[in-house]
Structures are given as structure tokens and as C-alpha cells.
């Protein structure tokens, strides 16, 4: 059942008109549990031989949980690299991946990157194969293997994250911020991993779509939680949005509680 945390009554805003995280955005800090140790850029190889960019971060102490970060439509830019480090600080191995190895190669995804032609060429199957490569990396590179692996996605990545519940990766849970339910609702019967839906109450996607998704998941008996942040805009999970600090802090708590519950 959906819940609506109280996060204040200030009006929604979208910084610089952006509808995804821009280069001046930064993920809010988690409730710190430790530090990030080893981190940096890497290259993964998908089942079809495609090389694609990724960014990993490991906590500075032993851990057996991992988070796979799925970016917005711009791919692997600075916000998501920093977010990978934040998850490491929260005590999880993490890796964030790029979507465009097949069409744009490996390179920077700053605000000058023309992402739209590449988004139009994305295919669910090849995206899932890239995710499978990242999951395999986490299971092989993490000392002793990651016992439980979660996905978290933002914007287009939110829906991609939820969809992985149906793609047979053996995930422990799939988390999405401001995804579009219409992209994945037909996959509900195949979903196996629990879902967490973190909804911006002032998003461009109508709340009714999320409420319908919630009902469909409930009717299908799929374990899930949904939280709506009233007044919060698309991409509210940004520490420069001072008016949405409470929503950011609450979202972090819910993500980590979800991991604790299912990991």
C-alpha cells in the first residue's frame, strides 16, 4: 500500500529546467556507516561482446551486500559515480553502469553528451544483458561474493530497475525513483524480487499511474512498498534541493531499510 511521508509544504521546483540529474546535482549523503575504500572507473563486457563503461566503489570494511546503480537517460555521469561511493559509505559494494556501449562507445556523459539518439536505440534485452554482466562482476569481484544484490534506478533507470525483478538475475530487490510504471506493468506476472517505489508527488508522470501500478502489484501478490513524496519534483533526490532535504533523508532511510529487510 502506498504511503505519503510528510515532507513540508514548499512548492515543487525543477532546477534549471532539467528533468534528470544535471552536472551540478549531487546525491544526498546517506546515514553514514563507514567510508568508501577502493573506487574508480572500469569496463565490463556483455554477453554479446559489447564493452561498456562502469564505475565501482567498495566499502572500507567487509560486506556481503551490493547495489547496482542504473542511471537516468544521460547514462553514467558524475551524479551516479558519486552515488556509487555513497552506497559504499553506507556499507555496500556498488557498481553504476552506462547504457550506451553499443551506440556511443565508452566516454564521458557530461551535459554536452547528445543522449537522445542513443536512448532511442536502447533495447530491453541488451540492457538486461549488461545488467547481468554487472551482477556477475559483483558476484566474482567482491571478496567471498556478494550474498545479496539490489538494483536502484532513477528516471528511465527506475523502470529498468523494476523490470529486472522479472529478468532472472537472482536479485534480492529492485528499487526505483521516479520511473514510469507503463514501461514495466506488463512484466508484473514474471516479477520475483521485491520492489520499492519512491515516487515524486509532483512528477510529470501522474500519481494515478503509480497508484494503478501499486494495485496491480498487490492483486498479483507481488511484495512491494510505495512511498509518495508530496510536492517533490522529478529528480528531487539531490542534496542541492534544500527544500526537499526531508524527502531525501526519508528516501535514504527507506532504501537502507529495504536492503536490511530483504538482504
Q: What is the pLDDT of residue 19?
A: 62
The CATH number that domain 25-262 falls under is: 3.40.50.1820
Burial of 71 per CB tally in 10 Å (0-12, 13-18, 19+): buried
pLDDT less than 50: residues of the chain: 1, 6-18
Domain ranges (residues) in the chain: 25-262
| β-sheet bridge partners, residue 148 | 65
Residue given cell 520511473 in the structure block: 179
**Quick one: pLDDT at residue 143?**
65
pLDDT at 26: 84
Cell 534544500 appears where? Answer: 242
What is the model's pTM?
0.92
- Give the whole-angstrom CA distance, residue 240 versus residue 231: 16
Give the pLDDT confidence score for residue 15 in this predicted structure. Answer: 38
Instruction: Write the CB contacts of 98 (distance below 8 Å, at least 6 apart in sequence).
Output: 52, 53, 54, 71, 75, 76, 106, 109
Query: Tell me, what's the pLDDT at 245?
Result: 93
Among the listed residues 180, 193, 229, the one whose alpha carbon sits nearest the alpha carbon of residue 68: 193
pLDDT score recorded for residue 239? 83
Predicted local distance difference test score (pLDDT) of residue 240: 76
Cα R_g (the chain), whole angstroms:
17
Tens digit of pLDDT for each residue in 12-70?
333 333 468 877 888 988 887 788 889 999 999 999 999 999 999 999 988 999 999 99
Element (H, E) at 151: strand 148-154
pLDDT of res. 2: 52
Amino acid at each position: 500500500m502506498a504511503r505519503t511521508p510528510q515532507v513540508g509544504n514548499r512548492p515543487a521546483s525543477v532546477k534549471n529546467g532539467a528533468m534528470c540529474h544535471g552536472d551540478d546535482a549531487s546525491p544526498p549523503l546517506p546515514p553514514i556507516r563507514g567510508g568508501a575504500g577502493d573506487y574508480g572507473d572500469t569496463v565490463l563486457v556483455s554477453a554479446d561482446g559489447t564493452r561498456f563503461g562502469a564505475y565501482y566503489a567498495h566499502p572500507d570494511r567487509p560486506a556481503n551486500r551490493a547495489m547496482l546503480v542504473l542511471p537516468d537517460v544521460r547514462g553514467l555521469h558524475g551524479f551516479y559515480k558519486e552515488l556509487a561511493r555513497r552506497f559504499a559509505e553506507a556499507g555496500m559494494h556498488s557498481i553504476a553502469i552506462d547504457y550506451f556501449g553499443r551506440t556511443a562507445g565508452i566516454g564521458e556523459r557530461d551535459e554536452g553528451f547528445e543522449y537522445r539518439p542513443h536512448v532511442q536505440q536502447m533495447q530491453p534485452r541488451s540492457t538486461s544483458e549488461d545488467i547481468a554482466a554487472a551482477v556477475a562482476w559483483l558476484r566474482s569481484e567482491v571478496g567471498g561474493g556478494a550474498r545479496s544484490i539490489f538494483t536502484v534506478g532513477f528516471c528511465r533507470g527506475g523502470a529498468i530497475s523494476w523490470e529486472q525483478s522479472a529478468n532472472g538475475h537472482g536479485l534480492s530487490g529492485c528499487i526505483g525513483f521516479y520511473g514510469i510504471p507503463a514501461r514495466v506493468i506488463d512484466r508484473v506476472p514474471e516479477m520475483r524480487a521485491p520492489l520499492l517505489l519512491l515516487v515524486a508527488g509532483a512528477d510529470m508522470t501522474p500519481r494515478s499511474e503509480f497508484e494503478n501500478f501499486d494495485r496491480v502489484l498487490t492483486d498479483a501478490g507481488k511484495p512491494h512498498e510505495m512511498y509518495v513524496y508530496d510536492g517533490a519534483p522529478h529528480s528531487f533526490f539531490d542534496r542541492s534541493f534544500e527544500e526537499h532535504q526531508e524527502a531525501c533523508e526519508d528516501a535514504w532511510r527507506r532504501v537502507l531499510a529495504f536492503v536490511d529487510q530483504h538482504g
